[in-house]
Chains A and B, each alone.
Chain A
Amino acid sequence: MQERLKQKAIQLLENGTVDRILGWKTGEFFYDLTPAVFTTREQIEKDFVFNVFSGANLSKYLIAESRKGGKIAAFIKPCDSYSFQQLLKEHRIWRDNVFVVGVQCDGMCDAAKLGDGVLSVKEDGENLIVETLYGEKTVAKADALADRCASCKSKKIVIFDELIGEQGEETENDRFGEVARLEAMTPEERYEFWRGELSRCIRCNACRNVCPACSCEKCVFDNANSGVRNKAAADSFEENMFHIIRAFHVTGRCTDCGECSRVCPQNIPLHLLNRKMIKDINELYGEYQAGADMDTKPPLTNYTVDDCEPSIVHERGGL
């Protein structure tokens, strides 16, 4: 697959379709890839990588890249394509300046699942041959699969100019299973669960900054003039509140790409907050998948006479 992507990148550059390529750049090891813009054949041949660690969603970079003039080609995986289309829907990406190469994906791996001292990784069919400081071992890709990919919602590339690999379909998945487990808890248990998870937050803002739905040019929390900028928490609930508010803020726009949980240095399962909102929307307003198309109106910004009344909170057991 990597070779096909490289050839495509070189072709698009050399036939003048685009003048830049957005992809993933090689690192010190096999797993530490960095999103990067390539402008020459030499750079692509030397540094372009597509492997099981190309997990980073490139869509958000296109907000800035599409405004730089010229045209950029971006390699977009199925779940990234939902983010890309959602950003288009929000008029955040200048579509004319982007050439989307859809890339099919078999699921990305999580380097943390490979164990200690990983020096290099070779893909070998369904396995990864892992060379470590402490010897070589074979790890099944399935065992190293990133959690978000284990409950992949779709192999469908919802928007593209050209496709590499087969088009896929929405998949059967259990992505709301964990949410249902939390819903089954008593309010006290749930409160304890989230207090425990969110208490680890160091407020690095990685979740916010990587999130394609968090695309404000200046976040209110970074703005000294907003009166609510807070580099330090006033009390131990403030970080908790930040994440809850952020989940509300992206509701209806979050495509469930899972980048928030991927980048969290403290392994907080932030995606569960977003999935709860998605699950509620599905139950209250009918099935809705952000980014799936350009036409449907997001339930929370679209009034219909059938919308549930505020009393639904009471009916569902809330106070």
Chain B
Amino acid sequence: MKKIAISQLNTLFAAIAARKTLYIPADDGAGSAKFTVWQEGVTLTDKLNTVRSAKDLFFPQVENLVNFKVEGTKIDIVENRDAAEPFVVFGVRACDCASFDILDRVFLSDPVDTFYQTRRENGVVITLACSRPAETCFCGVFGIDAANPAGDITCWMDGESLYWRANTKKGEQLTAALDLADCDGSAVTAQQEATREILKKLPLNSLDLSDFKDQKLLDVFNSPKWAQLSESCLGCGTCTFVCPTCQCYDVQDFDNGREVRRFRCWDSCMYSDFTMMAHGTNRPTQKERFRQRFMHKLVYFPNNNEGIFGCVGCGRCLQKCPIHMNIVKVAKALKEELK
């Protein structure tokens, strides 16, 4: 275990930023926090988490895939993927860090998504343990310990010090380059115990999703509850865009007649043109679109991934859904059905 005084945090960030681009959660000037490139003057937020998740650094909302340049009868294929520079992201919470495991299963399984893979290889993840969770947090449901997050490096912060533990080779390499003092783990252990007492009190942490692990796919799919659960859904993409595990994207072309820029961008199962096919859409109303999102997270994903749910309990959808409908309410309503 290493540590550095909070008063030296700026020096630490400067030292990291001197080697690689550093992102830290900073206030966005509108009452929330966002991952921001550190430079002199950017300070760590005291907000629990960012509105947009750490996913964005590995799977950005929009990215170039390739350009096609047409001259006469000749078509040139021009590689134009973003320069994949090495970076460090500091202050990732346990939930967001766990979301990488879920995204890895999607993007790093065959066929490997090289865009995502490059960013994962180039990124060093420094997590920050939670000590003041929100009522909307329920990462414990998914076996995530907010007091002991994973990542290349794990940090804890109290009023005086930042504690630092390297977990991986990447983490050790970065640690070796920094000026940190050795220390024992007693302060961290004390904080973890205090945090876990609060985690026990979180009202949603006791949510039991075990019913969804059995093969009850059709029971859930055909439940009459979906109509009521989805009836006031606005069909916006807020839940999917703030979600650290939503991974769906669309591939589209900008075509100016001479050049085609092929890009991919996040898509949302809540949108009417999601997975539009030649025959039209297979999800004609908001009920089917809404159902897709929760079936994916609660049933399809675990069925295909050794029971791992497609949710990390970060609570962003609980906070941001304009009509306050969310995975917790859906799971609770459907559980009654499964009994």
Residues of A at the B interface (CB closer than 8 Å) are 27-29, 32-37, 56, 61, 112, 116-119, 132-134, 196-197, 200, 202-206, 208-210, 218, 222-224, 229, 231-234, 262-263, 265-268
A133 touches B29 (CB 8 A): no
Inter-subunit contact A233/B30 (CB<8 Å): no
Inter-chain contacts of A206 with B (CB < 8 A): 234, 236-238, 322
Give 16 new A-B contacts, CB below 8 A, not counting A56-B322, A267-B30: A28-B204, A34-B323, A37-B231, A200-B30, A204-B236, A204-B241, A205-B237, A210-B234, A223-B273, A231-B252, A231-B265, A232-B252, A233-B62, A234-B254, A263-B234, A265-B241
Contact across chains for B231 and A36 when beta carbons are under 8 A apart: yes
B166 within 8 A of A: no
Kindly count the residue-residue contacts between A and B in the assembled complex, taking CB atoms under 8 Å apart: 118
Query: Is B198's CB within 8 Å of the partner chain A?
Result: yes
Interchain CB contact under 8 A, A266 and B30: yes
Q: Which of B228, B252, B322 has the most CB of A within 10 A?
A: B322
- A112 touching B31, Cβ below 8 Å: yes
Q: Tell me whether A28 and B203 are in contact in the complex, defined as CB-CB below 8 angstroms, given that A229-B273, A233-B62 are known contacts.
A: yes
Taking a contact as CB atoms under 8 Å apart, the answer to whether B324 and A34 are in contact is yes
Q: Are A27 and B324 in contact (CB-based, < 8 A)?
A: yes
Residues of B in contact (CB 8 Å), total 51
CB distance B28 to A231 under 8 Å?
A: no
Q: What string of 1s and 0s marks CB contacts (under 8 Å) between B28-39 and chain A?
A: 111110100000
User: Contact between A33 and B324 (Cβ–Cβ < 8 Å)?
Assistant: yes
CB distance B267 to A210 under 8 Å? Answer: no
For A233, the chain B residues whose CB sits under 8 A away are 62
**Main DSSP-derived SS at the B contact region:** loop
A27 close to B329 (CB less than 8 A): yes
Separation of A172 and B89 alpha carbons in the complex (Å): 49
DSSP majority for the A interface? Answer: loop
User: From A27, which residue of chain B is reached at the shortest CB distance?
Assistant: B324
Contact A35 B132 (CB under 8 A): no
Structural contact, A118 and B323, CB atoms closer than 8 A = no
Given the interface pairs A28-B203, A116-B134, the reply to whether A224 lies near B273 with Cβ below 8 Å is yes
| Bound: A232/B323 CA distance, A | 25
Asked if B19 lies at the interface with its beta carbon under 8 angstroms from chain A, I say: no
Are A32 and B318 in contact, with the CB atoms below 8 A? Answer: yes
Q: B176-209 interface mask toward A, CB cutoff 8 Å, 1 = contact, 0 = none?
A: 0000000000000000000000100111100000
10 A-B pairs whose Cβ atoms sit less than 8 Å apart in the complex: A36-B232, A117-B133, A200-B34, A204-B240, A206-B234, A206-B238, A232-B62, A262-B322, A267-B30, A267-B32
Known contacts A28-B329, A206-B238, A263-B322: A133-B30 contact under CB 8 Å: no
Are A34 and B232 also in contact (CB < 8 A) when A133-B202, A233-B62 are? Answer: yes
Residue contact B133 to A133, C-beta cutoff 8 Å: yes
Instruction: Name the distance in Å between A162's Cβ and chain B's nearest Cβ.
Output: 23
Within residues 264 to 301 of chain B, which ones have a CB less than 8 A from any CB in chain A? 265-268, 271-273, 276
Q: Is the CB of A265 within 8 A of B242?
A: yes
For A37, the chain B residues whose CB sits under 8 A away are 228, 231
Which residues of A have CB within 8 Å of B238?
204, 206, 263, 265
- State the Cβ distance, B27 to closest chain A Cβ, in Å: 12
Nearest A residue to B263, CB-CB: A232
Beta-carbon contact of B135 and A133 below 8 Å:
yes
Residue of B nearest to A117 (CB): B135
